[in-house]
Amino acid sequence: MGLFPSYTAYMITKPSNMHAVYPNAVKSVDDPPLLLVLAAPTEGGWCQQLSEEGYNALHVAYPPVDPTTLQEDLESCGAKIGSAKSGWGLVTYGFNPRDAPGLLTSNIALESLKVCVHYTPQSEIGEDLLAKYQNNKYVPTVIHLSASQATLEQSLNTLAEPTKLEYKLLTNEFPPISVFRYEKVGDAPPFPYLSKAPALVVAGETFTTDPYVRSATNLSYTRSLEVLKRYMGPHYPFEKLWEKHTYYEFVERDAPKTMSTMVSTPYVNHISTMTGGVGFQDLARFYKYHFTKDNVTPPDTELITVSRTVGADRIIDEMIFKCTHTTEIDYFLPGIKPTGKPLEIALVGVVAFRGDKLTFEHIYWDQASVLVQLGLLETNKGLPIAGVEAARKVLDPFGMPSNTLMDKWKESEGLSID
């Protein structure tokens, strides 16, 4: 059991303000790391998001009514931060360095600070945002900037250059400062505020997020998790969790067990056919009647993993999907009756996790190649479409020729490449 006995956020009250505590919501995490989050009072959703990643998130309203209020708020958090066994991390939104003295003069144990994450801090001087230990080494820090913060980016990049550090990095040490700037997003309010924390998304609701904001929010969140997990944990066996999920899908063909590996509001999107489901009910229905059902996935289906990349919150699997088209495969070929023909396609899965459960899958493949192999699309129309050879070139890139669909390839034969 962690610092907090329940999995429901509760409030710490004091005369001048209120602090929200979002306890770790991942049951497999026994000793959750602690994050101090300085964010607007209305943005507790991002604290809830972090709690579902396995953190105890302590939310302090920011910006403060005045610096004195902030210092009082921080001091009231000191005991909890000091008792965090594995140290603590700081996450801020729109932080202004003028408030740093309140943080530095509070009774918070700064020597146990493991990592900092700043979203669109309000400064042009990089040094103002970087904390140091007593040995003069920087606290590991990742900073996410808006499009207009080029001056701050330049200042931070100068400081982040390993040759400019006042100490030598060991070969097993990461550079302490990471800086990312996101195009076409503003600095006020901090761009994650313009999107909804995934933990708060409810199936069936519709909302529109600017694509640049969505991109910046998604990228920055993964980058933040990467540095938080690197220095604090928690760490999850993503490969084993993914393999359990696919075992339930393709071997046991058990929809309830498959759903047990996912968060409460998951989604699956098979990009080429837009099949899958959004939300627990729809996705459970999809799995039960249109995926794991015996007469949907052909009995000789085989998945061959070509490559796998494991990140801070996701797995990217490159696979070959093989089968004989003896069933109506709702998710690949909805409405197409079995042709009895062999099928072999390259497939990429982007599998994301929140805590120790899957939150979404994006599955990509070449639908034209599927249709060609099953005789549903002709290749003699001059269209640049490959059949089974596309999948086989993924498995054997040096054994299959390139550019067979490109007539102009012959024109460059023998020409200089200098």
Return the beta strands (E) in 129-284 as ranges.
Answer: 141-145, 177-181, 262-270, 275-278
Say yes or no: 32 and 103 in one domain: yes
Q: Supply the range of the domain harboring residue 94.
A: 10-232
Say yes or no: 264 and 154 in one domain: no
pLDDT value, residue 3 = 22
pLDDT value, residue 5 = 26
- The two three-digit tokens of residue 160, written as one number: 């982040």
Say yes or no: 193 and 45 in one domain: yes
State which of 214, 232, 250 marks the end of a domain.
232
Say yes or no: 88 and 63 in one domain: yes
Domain count across the chain = 2
Say yes or no: 247 and 385 in one domain: yes
- The two three-digit tokens of residue 124, written as one number: 């042009």
Q: Is residue 416 part of a domain?
A: no
pTM of the model: 0.91
307 — pLDDT class (breaks 50, 70, 90) = very high
pLDDT value, residue 105 = 56
Contact 324, 342 (CB under 8 A): yes
State which of 182, 213, 232 marks the end of a domain.
232
pLDDT value, residue 104 = 58
- The two three-digit tokens of residue 141, written as one number: 């820090």
Q: Count of CB atoms within 10 A of residue 236's CB?
A: 20
Query: In whole angstroms, what is the distance from residue 407 CA to residue 150 CA?
Result: 45
pLDDT value, residue 414 = 94
> What's 299's domain CATH number?
3.10.450.50
- The two three-digit tokens of residue 217, written as one number: 């929010």
Per-residue burial over 282-310, b = 16 or more CB atoms within 10 Å of its CB, e = otherwise: bbbebbbebbbeeebbbeeeeeeeeeeee
Q: Is residue 410 part of a domain?
A: no
When pLDDT is averaged across residues 22-36 and rounded to a whole number, the result is: 95
- Beta-sheet pairing, 177-181 with 262-270: unpaired
pLDDT value, residue 381 = 74
**Cα three-residue angle 161-162-167, rounded to 5 degrees:** 130
- Beta-sheet pairing, 113-119 with 88-93: parallel
Q: Given a cut of 60, is residue 16 above it in pLDDT?
A: no
Peptide bond before 63: cis, by omega within 30 degrees of 0? yes
Q: Is residue 49 part of a domain?
A: yes
Q: Is residue 415 part of a domain?
A: no
State which of 174, 202, 232 marks the end of a domain.
232
Contact 89, 114 (CB under 8 A): yes
107 — pLDDT class (breaks 50, 70, 90) = low
> What's 63's domain CATH number?
3.40.50
Match 């907090």 to its residue by tokens: 4
Q: Is residue 225 part of a domain?
A: yes
Say yes or no: 219 and 264 in one domain: no
pLDDT value, residue 353 = 98
Q: Given a cut of 50, is residue 18 above it in pLDDT?
A: no
CA torsion angle 262 264 267 268 (round to 10): 20
Say yes or no: 63 and 209 in one domain: yes
pLDDT value, residue 12 = 34
Say yes or no: 193 and 307 in one domain: no
When pLDDT is averaged across residues 106-112 and rounded to a whole number, the result is: 73
Say yes or no: 219 and 257 in one domain: no
Say yes or no: 299 and 228 in one domain: no
Q: Is residue 411 part of a domain?
A: no
Q: Given a cut of 70, is residue 8 above it in pLDDT?
A: no
Say yes or no: 198 and 288 in one domain: no
Per-residue pLDDT tens for 373-387? 999 998 777 789 999
- The two three-digit tokens of residue 280, written as one number: 């627990």
Per-residue pLDDT tens for 186-210? 999 999 999 999 999 988 887 788 9
Say yes or no: 194 and 256 in one domain: no
Q: Count of CB atoms within 10 A of residue 8's CB?
A: 10
Q: Is residue 408 part of a domain?
A: no
Q: Is residue 407 part of a domain?
A: no
14 — pLDDT class (breaks 50, 70, 90) = very low
Query: In whole angstroms, what is the distance from residue 132 CA to residue 382 CA?
Result: 63
